[in-house]
Amino acid sequence: MQIVIIGNGIAGITAAVSCRKLGNDPITVISSESKYFYSRTALMYIYMGHMRFEDTKPYQDNFWHQNNIELIQDKVTEIDHQNSVLSTKSGGKISYDKLVIATGSKPNIFAWPGVDLQGVFSMYHLHDLEKINSITENCKRAIVVGGGLIGIEIVEMLRSRNIEVTFLVREKNFWDIVLPKEESEMIEKEIRSHGVDLRLSTELASINSDDGKKIHSITTNSGETIPTEVVGIAVGVTPNIDMFKNSAIDVNRGILVDSQLRTNISNVYACGDCCELRNPSNGRRAIEPIWYTGRLMGEVVAKNIYNHELDYNPGVWFNSAKFFNIEYQIYGTVNPKLEENESTIFWRNKEKNKSIRINFDSNSKSVLGFNLFGIRYRHEVCNAWIVNKTHIEDVLQNLKIANFDGEFSSQFENELIDQYNKLYHKNIATKAKRGHDSVLEFFNKILSTK
């Protein structure tokens, strides 16, 4: 059986490595971006001088030969499904018995006037990093458009080289399609503390040049002109599926797959950012361009190639990020605005940019989700509380078990409980000690109830 994988991001490479663990069949991975797999999330740290490119490769270069995984740096131009053959830009023909499509995402680029100018860039691929390095070498001023996670990464990158940055965010608060208002405002304060000119409720209208090459300014939707030399675009991503839109593969926004990540073509699978689940799990989206979902999908695809009949189940939602110096974690469901029958408890230490939010069901009082800024909680503990629909008061009384920060770091659980008591007219107190023994006791209890 010949296994061919298009794409060498986290989903495609996880599929390749997982297939190798399950069998000895020949595996070929094709990518036009780079020969070797690297950590895409580390690109910003290369620009900032914290890492070298070779440090971002999780596997030694000889790993692939030793494991009989062939790497081809080329672009797939056509798929002949009837004969199970790929054509590449270099003129090559590659046969397959099982095909995995893992082509990832591509940045959204809208039709603004001037968007094709040389000083405009996005941040997703390795060649984007090379372009940013080139055009910002002697740059003094920059504009960044888009208020999501990639946008804040670009801002931090540019500020690391003392480039003046104006950050355009069309929403009223930063990332308010995801974050509640209190958390948004805390991140806005952090962004501005790093010398960033953050403009909320502001959109890009045009990118301006006198000679059709060199950028001198942008114009906003309010008519204001802001001088700049470069413009970073970070307005989200979409599945990278252009070559499949007129093929025999069913597509919508992404490549449509069933619960086992199979397409409508019997020997073709899709995984990672490029795929769209026909029937996503309850509470999950059909398309989730997240690192860990790509890794999990790669594992599921490999199992199903080897006839394990495994459904993709991402479990409880979680994610993490960093906003300059503030770490962010989310476990479960924390909507930007409370839904019907949802309640919340929120605590914030304004001096130290730390906050804890726990949402719970207003009727059953079972915990729904955690939003954490500047404080780290154990994933396994929060996940277990959500899965087991633990009562909010049981969670609050045992919060110290979840705390992942250092033994001598400041603790804030009692302050959160005090706030809960005042808000809901309760009189609960902490009862669990903090430490490794308490964590073990917690997991033993959870395991004994299964």
Domains of the chain by residue range:
3-105+238-305, 120-235, 318-448
Which of 93-102, 274-283, 410-419 is modeled with the greatest confidence?
A: 93-102
| Stretch 302-325: mean pLDDT | 96
pLDDT class of 226 with cuts at 50, 70, 90: very high
**Per-residue pLDDT, 409:** 56
**Per-residue pLDDT, 118:** 93
pLDDT of 223 over the 60 cut: yes
**Per-residue pLDDT, 295:** 97
pLDDT of 440 over the 90 cut: no
Its CATH class, for the domain covering 120-235, is alpha beta
| Stretch 11-34: mean pLDDT | 97
**Per-residue pLDDT, 79:** 96
**Per-residue pLDDT, 405:** 76
pLDDT class of 442 with cuts at 50, 70, 90: low
Same fold, 3-105+238-305 and 120-235: yes
402-411's contacts with Cβ under 8 Å and 24+ in sequence apart are 402/377, 402/378, 403/375, 403/376, 403/377, 403/378, 403/434, 404/376, 404/377, 404/378, 405/375, 405/376, 407/434, 407/435, 410/352
Choose the weakest-confidence range: 200-209, 309-318, 433-442. 433-442
| Stretch 246-259: mean pLDDT | 96
| Stretch 59-66: mean pLDDT | 96
pLDDT of 436 over the 90 cut: no
**Per-residue pLDDT, 434:** 52
**What ranges in 48-115 are assigned the alpha helix state H?**
63-66
Distance CA 211, CA 200 (A): 30
**Cα 348 from chain centroid?**
25
Phi, then psi, of 294 in degrees rounded to 5: -60, -45
Q: Where are the beta strands (DSSP E) in 195-274?
A: 197-200, 204-209, 215-220, 225-227, 230-233, 237-239, 255-257, 268-270
Element (H, E) at 31: strand 27-31
**Per-residue pLDDT, 253:** 97
pLDDT class of 428 with cuts at 50, 70, 90: confident
**Per-residue pLDDT, 11:** 98
Choose the weakest-confidence range: 316-320, 323-327, 408-412. 408-412
**CA-derived radius of gyration, the chain:** 24
Percent of the residues in the chain that have a pLDDT greater than 90, as a whole number: 87
| Stretch 48-74: mean pLDDT | 96
| Stretch 351-366: mean pLDDT | 94
**Cα 290 from chain centroid?**
4
Residue 331 and residue 373 in contact, taking contact as beta carbons nearer than 8 Å = no
| Triad 368, 374, 375: Cα angle to 5° | 55
Distance CA 235, CA 117 (A): 17
Q: Which residue has the higher pLDDT, 447 or 143?
A: 143
- 162-194, pLDDT tens digit by residue? 999 999 999 999 999 999 999 999 999 999 999
Which of 308-322, 340-354, 415-429 is modeled with the greatest confidence?
A: 308-322
Query: Could you confirm whether domain 3-105+238-305 is CATH 3.50.50.60?
Result: yes
**Per-residue pLDDT, 414:** 87
Distances (CA, A) of 207 to 109, 137, 204, 350, 427: 13, 20, 8, 37, 58
**Per-residue pLDDT, 448:** 59
**Per-residue pLDDT, 445:** 65
pLDDT class of 271 with cuts at 50, 70, 90: very high
| Stretch 30-49: mean pLDDT | 95
Which of 125-129, 243-247, 369-373 is modeled with the greatest confidence?
A: 369-373
Residue 428 and residue 421 in contact, taking contact as beta carbons nearer than 8 Å = yes
Which amino acid would we find at residue 315? G
Give the other-Cβ count within 10 Å of 251's Cβ.
20
| Stretch 368-384: mean pLDDT | 95
Positive/negative CA dihedral, 299, 300, 306, 308: positive
| Stretch 338-363: mean pLDDT | 94
Mean pLDDT for all residues in the chain: 93
* pTM over cut 0.85: yes
**Per-residue pLDDT, 114:** 97
**Per-residue pLDDT, 446:** 59
pLDDT of 411 over the 90 cut: no
| Stretch 388-403: mean pLDDT | 93
Domain range 318-448, its CATH number among 3.30.390, 1.10.260, 3.40.50, 3.30.160: 3.30.390
Q: For tokens 């495994």, name the residue.
A: 310
